[in-house]
A and B are shown apart, each in its own frame.
Chain A
């Protein structure tokens, strides 16, 4: 009977004419409340899955579990300890025997397990949940009951269950789930369906609800898979490198007797179908023929997954694992996706060939996937959960917290940064704050969109001041770092390009360095050598943190929430202290103003510095590994520290800090206003906030306090002192960076133009003048030296005023 139930679905699915009738019927049959339905058969249906029959005949996607069960399960394991609650007549005995009954080879009691899971579904509340799946749910109500409600509305019969929830609710149940997934998950299904149809008896679903656990804590890393994990539920992370075509896998063969047309069905058993030799009806031998289009198939896809580069030991090659996806999980992932897979780890021995006396003693291993979770999908949706869900052990967290509680943690960390590079304390501090980043704020509701939380830093200075080395270090430190050189990169390499896949002829979007370093740091060396068109793409990235692409029919906006750490050399081989930063590196000021901190790395050329530098370098060469380690923090600790802070610490401004920020900003504006120039823009305030937040993160503090603001102010001042000092006046002038010209220079320009105008006016009505003559006159008249450039600028200014025009060597008044 069970099989019949199943058959009617199978036939339906094969003939592509699913009839609603039987389904509804069967669904309701699961309802325990209906007296009629509490027949042994109905209980038998779900629990019979345990035996290896396809999951539910209720019209679900029975094959999801089947390939696993059918191909690997060894017969003896399937037997139940005492009377099996499978097939007909099981219910009575099950109820009678109560708790004593367990599935053979396990300690799972179907009844208890089901009860426990139902209790879990009904009661589990996670008020602190911040998963994106739970957005919009009331966190103080039972989580999974809300999800069931969602299913009844949306009609997608899949219930994803976070294993860590199960664990916190009932550790024993969790253990069973991990250890015996292929017994426990069907039980869960049963439980969920009972519960669901009890609450929503009128719901019509495509098939029975399937429970898909994810986030099993058992295994995180592909490398740590070992023989003990076989047949257990595991979660690993990795990157899809290859997907196969869809493979139709026969679940059940349909045979028909050629003589009497009697038909029979044979299920797949360990990947094989045993062809019946004799027709049961007419007893003819070898009369049965396989009818393909009445056999049942399920979709299957092979996916190769490679270890993600982050959790690999250095110097080894990444491992790969074969994953089989079934039914609706087919084609859910593409090569290049980073995913978390939850599934059952399988090992299949090599099949024996009767013609050979030897077999390879190797098992083929794969994972039958239950749940996919794309880790970068979240990025595309812009929902904020740090995707690098790094797990920290208790001890590790303890160490990190201890470190954080030290008063000098900021200095410690900054000196641990690139210890081989000498001094440049403030630059290291700036980079440290960049590594931590500000707090991400979302104002999209109020129309302002995202505020940038990433800190951008530009290093400029003499060649050979270990800028590249610093960049290399940072690139090696952060998990999502990208390193490019301005010389070698094109706009395409930085952003994204569209490629035609040679096999599928499909257009594929290939992402470049900036997108790849989303949530990380993009290190750009030789920033000044970059072509203008390449640089122009940075404008959008560095403020809006997105990248818009309109190419070959693909129009999209990608997130590129990356911090930029760039290094630029002066145009002349040496930094010219008499010139402004802009003049020295010849970068457009629109771009420069997007950097929070601009540092100069100059050779200070004084004796004390030289001595310390020499000492540092010599020490570098002769100190042993241990000595160095004593002195500095381990790079691994630093890495973890940053990762922890980035994931768990989200500081907010407190009252005093906001006051301090306001004051700081007002002060900055005041400085300039006295001399008639603007010395701060809202951008400076924003970056001040970012820096203060980052500094609070360094302290593992949830509040931004005054000390954070103080340090942010100090650092910004230092950076400005270096990069925005007007060489002519010695004052810090922010407009050098924001407009590319210092206020004094602009004033001077105006003065010259006025002087010129006056001079021309004093000459009376002369419609045309010689260019050279005018220049000489002006030079003679003015006390300050006037260069040809200045003269030309003045002319241009007057031309803009429509006062005169310059044609060749003559100047005409209008």
Chain B
């Protein structure tokens, strides 16, 4: 096996061989990329490559090919390096040309004045694991990677151990938050301190030690309490094609040369800057990118590349779609205490996606406001259930303290010359769960007001204005926002559904746990695939239906122009779209439109009701 996997174990050897063959013909660079791309195309071959996400760094061989599933958190300035340099071969004493690409260091004795030196440009991206990645997604991708023996010194017998580590990850999260030194208190510790958790506490405290060490060095994760390797990715080609907050699967050469840290020297950089840009390689490894694949989603249950595999997978799943939908709807209805309408809307919300933008208007966003949520940790349990279904999520408990103290909007730190991340720097299609039930009366300070404004902007325009101190810069995003609140939320939303519980279980915790336990993993997995897949489907409206919709709108306006506005039409078009997609239909039918109209009517009558109820109260 080792011989056949030289390209994984010794990719630099491959690069150098190609360079030597080329006789400084610049085409060799393209050839190298071609070669690795070709290797990775082969069936299953990409799973041979060990992943930084799953394998602890110290098990990975330096200078081997690794992959990393990540989010581009920051883009540093481009740097010039010696692409080709001339040096003296110590054995033959002859001048030789060496290739500096995909390397951080060169041997000494470089002839700086040689005419053969080629200066080239590359850029460094600071990448972090996808923020808010659900534990199940990590777990599954880890297991699937473990199926094939990774070509590292990482012995399979240790896998179990590491699996536990990952598993602990989710469990330790709340534990860590209990510690007083974490700056931002957010998710309250999970209420159910059952025996399993007690058990893992001991080992977890051990496994978190290294991460505690690294916490002295701020790894700049968008969300508090995140763990995982951060990585400095050196990018050589196609610099313009990458954007901030892109999610990528990067294949590259791992470089952890300890020299990197020693090589710091006196220069004009501030210590903060040096720490941000040249952290110890043992904590923040360097990765020289050979190939990067943009990820449409990070659901490990779905084939990620748009290959024949995927289309076959999609068409096979389409058949099941309607039935899975019914099951999921039933499940969500239970979770939402028997409220079928709210469950329907929650389902639509979970598959919503900003599919395009018309100048400033994002189309397809569907922010849901579930009002009338029971208090006492119901929302927290609801989040846990959502988290089980989507690959990426984050619960922001909107308590006064959090709103006043937490950094939501990323801010440029000019001293360290980096973008300090904030909780709104999220990957596309992350479910952001805003828990407004936690908000109490009190004073919002200026940063609190700014945070609320940022949330409002996020919901209305699907953009976040990053703070560059002298100016703001707008970054479009695609985040599914779900707001749970007691009354109508103070944040804007596309659609408000007052929750009408049909059952009032005496013990909410127990009720939800039972529902959750009643689902088989295979069932849950089906839901997961369903939600990710429905989002990727294409959608169109035929001219005929367009006409019908138009007529309908005109009729509705005729009856009562005050009640139906352009905004309502906007919303109903989105609902109709999502409703069709949720059934696996890729065009809008008259039926679909009528259904959308119908459930919107139901919802509106419910909000009206609520209004009149509230009107009587005071």
**Chain A residues within CB distance 8 Å of chain B:** 74, 76, 225-227, 230, 239, 241-242, 244, 302, 304, 306, 309, 312-322, 335-336, 347, 349-353, 356-365, 418-420, 422, 464-466, 469, 472-473, 476, 488, 603, 605, 607, 610-611, 613-615, 617-622, 625, 628, 635
CB <8 Å contact, B113 and A74: yes
What 3 A-B pairs are tightest by C-beta distance, nearest first? A315-B243, A614-B553, A420-B358
CB <8 Å contact, B74 and A359: no
Q: Which residues of chain B from 544 to 593 have any CB-CB distance to chain A below 8 Å in the complex? A: 546, 549-550, 553-554, 557-558, 561, 565-567, 569-570, 573-574, 577
Among candidates B110, B259, B471, residue contacting A356 with C-beta atoms closer than 8 Å: B259
CB distance from A254 to the nearest CB of B (A): 23
Contacts of A244 in B (CB 8 A): 268
Contacts of A317 in B (CB 8 A): 74-75, 244, 412, 419, 473
CB <8 Å contact, B81 and A363: yes
Among candidates A356, A464, A465, residue contacting B108 with C-beta atoms closer than 8 Å: A356
User: Which one, B99-107, B332-340, B375-383, B500-508, is touching chain A?
Assistant: B99-107
CB <8 Å contact, B268 and A302: yes
Given the known A-B contacts A309-B471, A352-B108, A358-B108, are A603 and B558 also in contact in the complex, defined by CB atoms under 8 Å? no
| Residue in A317, A318, A351, A617 whose Cβ sees the most chain B Cβ within 10 Å | A317
Q: Which residues of chain B from 470 to 487 have any CB-CB distance to chain A below 8 Å in the complex? A: 470-471, 473-476
Closest to B100 in A: A361
Closest to A472 in B: B360
A–B Cβ pairs within 8 angstroms, 12 of them:
A317-B74, A318-B473, A322-B268, A358-B107, A363-B80, A363-B81, A420-B358, A473-B359, A488-B449, A615-B546, A617-B570, A625-B356
Q: Which residues of chain B from 402 to 444 have any CB-CB distance to chain A below 8 Å in the complex? A: 412, 414-415, 417, 419
Given the known A-B contacts A316-B243, A469-B360, are A359 and B550 also in contact in the complex, defined by CB atoms under 8 Å? no
Q: Check B119 for interface membership: any CB of A closer than 8 A.
A: yes
Closest to B119 in A: A227
Contacts of A618 in B (CB 8 A): 541, 546, 549-550, 573
CB <8 Å contact, B121 and A226: yes
Count how many chain B residues have C-beta atoms less than 8 Å from C-beta atoms of the other chain.
Answer: 76
CB <8 Å contact, A607 and B554: yes
Q: List 8 additional contacts besides A227-B120, A352-B110, A622-B539; criterion CB under 8 Å.
A: A315-B245, A356-B262, A358-B105, A358-B107, A358-B263, A359-B263, A362-B81, A621-B363
| Residue in B120, B415, B557 whose Cβ sees the most chain A Cβ within 10 Å | B557
CB distance from B441 to the nearest CB of A (A): 20
Contacts of A418 in B (CB 8 A): 359-360
Contacts of B119 in A (CB 8 A): 227, 230, 347, 363
Given the known A-B contacts A347-B119, A420-B359, A621-B577, are A361 and B550 also in contact in the complex, defined by CB atoms under 8 Å? no
Given the known A-B contacts A304-B414, A356-B259, A488-B449, are A349 and B358 also in contact in the complex, defined by CB atoms under 8 Å? no
Contacts of B121 in A (CB 8 A): 226-227
CB <8 Å contact, A611 and B85: no
CB <8 Å contact, B470 and A358: no
Given the known A-B contacts A244-B268, A357-B107, are A614 and B360 also in contact in the complex, defined by CB atoms under 8 Å? no
Among candidates B106, B267, B415, residue contacting A361 with C-beta atoms closer than 8 Å: B106
Contacts of A473 in B (CB 8 A): 359-360
Q: Check B156 for interface membership: any CB of A closer than 8 A.
A: no
Q: How far is the CA of A635 from the CA of B361 in the complex (A)?
A: 14
Closest to B573 in A: A621
CB <8 Å contact, B573 and A351: no
CB <8 Å contact, A316 and B75: yes
Given the known A-B contacts A419-B358, A466-B566, A607-B554, are A364 and B267 also in contact in the complex, defined by CB atoms under 8 Å? yes
CB <8 Å contact, A309 and B473: yes
**Chain B residues within CB distance 8 Å of chain A:** 74-75, 77-82, 85, 100, 103-108, 110, 112-113, 119-121, 240, 242-245, 257, 259-260, 262-263, 265, 267-268, 356, 358-361, 363, 412, 414-415, 417, 419, 449, 453, 461, 468-471, 473-476, 539-541, 546, 549-550, 553-554, 557-558, 561, 565-567, 569-570, 573-574, 577
Among candidates A304, A356, A617, residue contacting B566 with C-beta atoms closer than 8 Å: A617
Q: How far is the CA of A794 from the CA of B7 in the complex (A)?
A: 95
CB <8 Å contact, B361 and A469: yes
CB <8 Å contact, B569 and A76: no
Closest to A619 in B: B546
Closest to B469 in A: A241
Contacts of A351 in B (CB 8 A): 265
CB <8 Å contact, A358 and B359: no
Among candidates B262, B461, B541, B567, residue contacting A472 with C-beta atoms closer than 8 Å: B461
Q: How far is the CA of A17 from the CA of B204 in the complex (A)?
A: 72
CB distance from B418 to the nearest CB of A (A): 9
Contacts of B415 in A (CB 8 A): 242
Q: How far is the CA of A610 from the CA of B567 in the complex (A)?
A: 13
CB <8 Å contact, B244 and A316: yes
CB distance from A346 to the nearest CB of B (A): 10
CB distance from A636 to the nearest CB of B (A): 12
CB distance from B220 to the nearest CB of A (A): 13
Among candidates A242, A347, A469, A619, residue contacting B414 with C-beta atoms closer than 8 Å: A242
Given the known A-B contacts A319-B77, A614-B569, are A336 and B359 also in contact in the complex, defined by CB atoms under 8 Å? no
Q: How far is the CA of A341 from the CA of B105 in the complex (A)?
A: 32
Contacts of A347 in B (CB 8 A): 80, 119
Q: How far is the CA of A118 from the CA of B613 in the complex (A)?
A: 88
Given the known A-B contacts A244-B268, A302-B268, are A464 and B567 also in contact in the complex, defined by CB atoms under 8 Å? yes
Among candidates B78, B113, B469, B569, residue contacting A617 with C-beta atoms closer than 8 Å: B569
Contacts of A359 in B (CB 8 A): 105-106, 108, 110, 263
Q: How far is the CA of A347 from the CA of B453 in the complex (A)?
A: 43
CB distance from A625 to the nearest CB of B (A): 7
Closest to A324 in B: B268
Contacts of A622 in B (CB 8 A): 539-541, 546
Contacts of B104 in A (CB 8 A): 360-362
Among candidates A318, A358, A625, residue contacting B106 with C-beta atoms closer than 8 Å: A358
Closest to A225 in B: B78
CB distance from B124 to the nearest CB of A (A): 10
CB <8 Å contact, B108 and A357: yes
Closest to A337 in B: B470
CB <8 Å contact, B557 and A610: yes
Given the known A-B contacts A313-B240, A351-B265, are A614 and B549 also in contact in the complex, defined by CB atoms under 8 Å? yes
Contacts of B242 in A (CB 8 A): 316
CB <8 Å contact, B358 and A628: yes
Q: How far is the CA of A360 from the CA of B476 in the complex (A)?
A: 36
Contacts of A610 in B (CB 8 A): 553-554, 557-558
Contacts of B106 in A (CB 8 A): 358-361
Closest to B566 in A: A613
CB <8 Å contact, B358 and A304: no
Closest to B450 in A: A488
Contacts of B108 in A (CB 8 A): 352, 356-359
Q: How far is the CA of A312 from the CA of B550 in the complex (A)?
A: 41
CB distance from A105 to the nearest CB of B (A): 11
CB <8 Å contact, A361 and B85: yes
CB <8 Å contact, B561 and A304: no
CB <8 Å contact, A315 and B475: yes
Closest to B105 in A: A358
Contacts of A302 in B (CB 8 A): 268
CB distance from B142 to the nearest CB of A (A): 30
CB distance from A791 to the nearest CB of B (A): 35
Closest to B553 in A: A614
Q: How far is the CA of A806 from the CA of B36 in the complex (A)?
A: 94
Given the known A-B contacts A242-B414, A476-B359, A610-B553, are A320 and B105 also in contact in the complex, defined by CB atoms under 8 Å? no
Closest to A365 in B: B80
Among candidates B100, B260, B360, residue contacting A476 with C-beta atoms closer than 8 Å: B360
Closest to B569 in A: A617
CB distance from B344 to the nearest CB of A (A): 20
Q: How far is the CA of A436 from the CA of B170 in the complex (A)?
A: 56
CB <8 Å contact, A607 and B265: no
Closest to A618 in B: B546
CB <8 Å contact, A605 and B557: yes
CB <8 Å contact, B363 and A614: no
CB distance from B118 to the nearest CB of A (A): 8
